[in-house]
Amino acid sequence: MYTDIQLINNTAIHNFEVFVDGHRAFIDYKQHGDKVFLIHTEVPVELEGKGVASALVEKTFKYLEENNLKMVPYCEYIKVYLKRHPEWERLVV
């Protein structure tokens, strides 16, 4: 789902973001070296329940892996996602 939507790494404001139907969903992060601290995931009310958050997280994990980065999940949504998708635990510091 949402395979045609591009993940943007907005380094100026430390967000991984996607735009769906004119609305912005994002993951707030901080980066230190090769570690990316995933702090908060936010999806606007208009997009809730449409799979946008899980698509955003999946795209972010793929980005991290492609760029040889590791993650430190602080966000509760991401922690729950990892329990449902343990194959991504390989990226956790």
Q: For 6-89, where are the alpha helices, taking DSSP H only?
A: 52-66, 76-84
Contacts of 30 by beta carbon, 8 Å cutoff, 6+ apart? 14, 36, 37, 39
| Residue 1 pLDDT exceeds 90 | no
Could you give the CA distance from residue 17 to residue 48 in angstroms, rounded to a whole number?
Answer: 15
What confidence score (pLDDT) does residue 23 get? 97
CA 30 from chain centre, in angstroms, equals: 12
Enumerate the domain spans of the chain.
8-25+33-91
| Residue 80 pLDDT exceeds 90 | yes
pLDDT tens digits for 31-78? 999 999 999 999 999 999 999 999 999 999 999 999 999 999 999 999
* The pTM of the whole model exceeds 0.85: yes
pLDDT tens digits for 3-18? 899 999 999 999 999 9
Q: Would you state the structure tokens that stand for residue 59, as one six-digit string? A: 């795209």
Average pLDDT of the segment spanning 73-86: 98
74: nearest Cα among 26, 28, 10: 28
**Is residue 27 classed as helix, strand or coil in its secondary structure?**
strand
* CATH superfamily label, 8-25+33-91: Gcn5-related N-acetyltransferase (GNAT) (3.40.630.30)
**C-beta separation of 21 from 46 below 8 A:** yes
